[in-house]
């Protein structure tokens, strides 16, 4: 059982990202929003802590915007984007980058859970807004970060993610319509559930047609 030591969230509805002294020309919003939520957790004060990044589209939005001449973002690959975030926060620890479509949130938490034996882990789950020309459901950008720890300190906890064969006892939590089509919405719902003490099982698969069963995590009250 893993303790959620801290959470941070950002969506476009929260307003523009506050410019930081570390911002550089060419930093994409993907880079800035993930750096923003990591900074909110104090990740810049723990440079050796492991990071697990989960993203479905990564910086694909930036590649398209750059191809359309509307962006000068430099990092068109997810490793390069994460490297830019690490550089901004002076991070020197190990990084895992995980993608699995609508199961990305679940798989990033699986990767984090098996990394917990090595110490605390910062999990970042983020996607840009729907890229132009994709003909995909429109959604806004969002970024979520969790600090996960295995220790005896009191605080909310989550089980390791598991694939449930039976339906969840309650329907998936509501998230803003602006991000409901994002593969990352279960991360936002989980962070909101922690803040609202909504204990119980939470869906981790973004495909709402499949979220009655499938990958889920149990959020438990502080002990």
Partner 1 sequence: MPAYPMTARAAVNAAGDELDAILHAIDHDRSALRPCAELGEPPPLVGWLGSPPPLPGPLRAHDGRAARVLFRALAPSTAAIESACKRWGASRVGAVIAAPIADLDPVAVAMRLSAPMPAPTAEALVELVLAATSMRGPVYACSAEGAAGATAVAAGIRLLDAGALDAVIVGGCEVLGPATLRLPGVDAPGEGAALALLERHGDAFVELAAVCEVASGSALARLAREHAHATRSVGYVHAIEPVEADPARPGVPVITTTRVTGHLRAAAGVTELVLAAGALERGRAPIPGDRGDPDLDLDAAIVDVPVGKGGRVALSLRARSS
Binding site for partner 1 (CB under 8 A): 56-58, 60, 63-64, 67, 76-80, 83, 86, 92-101, 103-104, 106-108, 110-111, 113-115, 117, 131, 133-136, 160, 163
Instruction: Select 94 or 138, whichever has its Cβ closest to partner 1.
Output: 94
Instruction: Select 16 or 69, whichever has its Cβ closest to partner 1.
Output: 69
State the minimum distance, in angstroms, from the CB of residue 150 to partner 1: 12
Instruction: Select 76 or 201, whichever has its Cβ closest to partner 1.
Output: 76
Instruction: Select 38 or 192, whichever has its Cβ closest to partner 1.
Output: 38
Q: In whole angstroms, how far apart are CA 108 and each of 49, 52, 61?
A: 16, 7, 21
State the minimum distance, in angstroms, from the CB of residue 47 to partner 1: 11
Instruction: Select 40 or 100, whichever has its Cβ closest to partner 1.
Output: 100
At how many degrees (to 10) do helices 104-115 and 185-195 cross? 60
Cβ–Cβ under 8 Å, residues 126 and 62: no
State the minimum distance, in angstroms, from the CB of residue 117 to partner 1: 7
Instruction: Select 129 or 176, whichever has its Cβ closest to partner 1.
Output: 129
Instruction: Select 9 or 91, whichever has its Cβ closest to partner 1.
Output: 91
State the minimum distance, in angstroms, from the CB of residue 96 to partner 1: 6
Cβ–Cβ under 8 Å, residues 181 and 43: no
Q: Which residue has the tokens 């995980």?
A: 98
State the minimum distance, in angstroms, from the CB of residue 132 to partner 1: 9
State the minimum distance, in angstroms, from the CB of residue 7 to partner 1: 22
Cα separation, 20 vs 18, whole angstroms = 6
Phi, psi of 106 (to 5 degrees): -60, -45
First to last CA, the chain: 11
Check residue 28 and report its DSSP letter: -
Q: In whole angstroms, how far apart are CA 18 and each of 8, 29, 33, 39, 41?
A: 15, 11, 10, 12, 16
Query: What tokens were used for 82?
Result: 């994460």
Cα separation, 195 vs 115, whole angstroms = 24
State the minimum distance, in angstroms, from the CB of residue 200 to partner 1: 22
């Amino acid at each position: 059982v893993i303790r959620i030591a801290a959470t941070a969230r950002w969506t476009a509805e929260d307003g523009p990202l506050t410019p930081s002294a570390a911002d550089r020309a060419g930093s994409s919003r993907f880079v800035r929003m993930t750096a923003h939520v990591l900074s909110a957790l104090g990740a810049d004060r723990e440079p050796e802590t492991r990071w697990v990044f989960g993203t479905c589209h990564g910086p694909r939005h930036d590649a398209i915007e750059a191809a359309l001449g509307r962006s000068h973002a430099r990092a068109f690959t997810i490793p390069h984007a994460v490297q830019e975030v690490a550089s901004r926060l002076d991070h020197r620890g190990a990084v895992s980058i995980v993608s699995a479509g609508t199961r990305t949130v679940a798989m990033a938490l699986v990767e984090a859970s098996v990394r917990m034996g090595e110490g605390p882990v910062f999990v970042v789950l983020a996607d840009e807004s729907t890229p132009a020309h994709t003909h995909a459901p429109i959604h806004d950008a969002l970024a979520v970060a969790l600090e996960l720890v295995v220790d005896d300190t009191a605080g909310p906890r989550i089980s390791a993610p598991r694939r449930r064969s039976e339906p969840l006892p309650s329907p998936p939590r509501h998230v803003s319509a602006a991000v409901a089509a994002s593969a990352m919405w279960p991360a936002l719902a989980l962070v909101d559930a922690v803040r609202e003490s909504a204990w119980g099982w939470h869906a981790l698969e973004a495909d709402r047609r499949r979220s009655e069963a499938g990958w889920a995590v149990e959020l438990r009250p502080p002990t």
